[in-house]
């Protein structure tokens, strides 16, 4: 099973500080359909979702960069698997968006296989974030992707993007809609997020951080809590 916790040091993050101070960003590997996937040694966090949902924008927000990852209002901007090395501590993996109408069926199938190969084979993949637009009911493709991630041994963390585009009063209703359509379990994690206001950023970082925290520190905490 792939759901592992790591026990390595989290350089770049102070104790109790959930958000990494990103000082070094490098687009280290770009994979096309036929490329060999890299065998990275650092933990990887992948971002999946339909084209135009905001994967690259979220990655920029997490990196505190305006436009390091290329974004566009034209769907289909990211058509490669991009590995961003962050502080030489972890990787963000920007996956190509699905459901992009202009791509041929054959190309879509090839990408599907490539993404599946990545999900299956990456020894370092810790968490898969599945992005859906908070304004809309998830599509069949979103539901398929959600199930597919589970089938590959991960518990997807759902990020509901473009939070700034709805009224506060609609948030709970839209989150429920997303949960119901995806068939999320009660304990499944859903984080509303906006690349405009950065709301949700800390929560996402805290989750990733939990996979980087040194094991000894966790043990100390639980022992302390008993006293």
Ligand X SMILES: Nc1nc2c(ncn2[C@@H]2O[C@H](COP(=O)(O)OP(=O)(O)OP(=O)(O)O)[C@@H](O)[C@H]2O)c(=O)[nH]1
Residue 128: Cβ-neighbour burial (10 angstroms; 0-12, 13-18, 19+): buried
Question: Considering CB distances under 5 to 8 angstroms, the limit depending on partner class, which of ligand X, Mg ion, none binds residue 62?
Answer: none
Listed ranges 18-26, 35-43, 49-57, 193-201: which one lies at the site for Mg ion (CB under 5 A): 49-57
Q: Which residues bind ligand X (CB under 6 A)?
A: 49, 51-57, 71-73, 75-78, 97, 161-162, 164-165, 194-196
- Which phi and psi (to 5°) does residue 82 adopt? -105, 125
Cβ 5 to Mg ion shortest distance, Å:
29
* 125 bridge partner residues: 44
Q: How many CA atoms lie within 13 A of 201 on its CB side?
A: 18
Question: Considering CB distances under 5 to 8 angstroms, the limit depending on partner class, which of Mg ion, ligand X, none binds residue 161?
Answer: ligand X
Give the chain's end-to-end CA distance (angstroms, integer).
34
Contact 147, 156 (CB under 8 A): no
Among 10, 78, 152, 161, binds Mg ion (CB under 5 A): 78
Q: Is 50 in the site for Mg ion (CB under 5 A)?
A: no
Among 40, 52, 56, 82, binds Mg ion (CB under 5 A): 56
Contact footprint for Mg ion (CB under 5 A): 55-56, 77-78
């Amino acid at each position: 099973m792939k759901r592992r916790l790591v026990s390595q040091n989290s350089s770049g993050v102070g104790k109790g500080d959930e958000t990494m101070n990103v000082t070094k960003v490098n687009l280290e590997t770009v994979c096309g359909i036929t490329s060999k996937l890299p065998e990275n040694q650092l933990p990887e966090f992948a971002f999946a979702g339909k084209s135009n949902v905001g994967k690259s924008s979220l990655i920029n927000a997490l990196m505190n960069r305006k436009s390091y990852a290329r974004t566009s209002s034209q769907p289909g901007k990211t058509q490669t698997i991009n590995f961003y090395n962050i502080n030489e501590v972890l990787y963000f993996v920007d996956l190509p968006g699905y459901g992009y109408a202009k791509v041929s069926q054959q190309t879509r199938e090839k990408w599907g296989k490539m993404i599946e190969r990545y999900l299956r084979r990456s020894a370092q993949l810790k968490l898969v974030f599945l992005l859906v637009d908070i304004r809309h009911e998830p599509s069949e493709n979103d539901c398929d992707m959600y199930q597919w991630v589970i089938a590959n041994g991960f518990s997807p963390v759902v990020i509901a993007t473009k939070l700034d585009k709805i009224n506060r009063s609609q948030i709970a209703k839209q989150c429920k809609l997303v949960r119901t359509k995806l068939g999320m379990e009660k304990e499944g994690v859903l984080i509303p997020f906006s690349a405009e206001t950065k709301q949700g950023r800390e929560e996402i970082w805290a989750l990733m951080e939990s996979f980087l925290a040194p094991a000894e520190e966790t043990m100390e905490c639980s022992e302390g809590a008993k006293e």
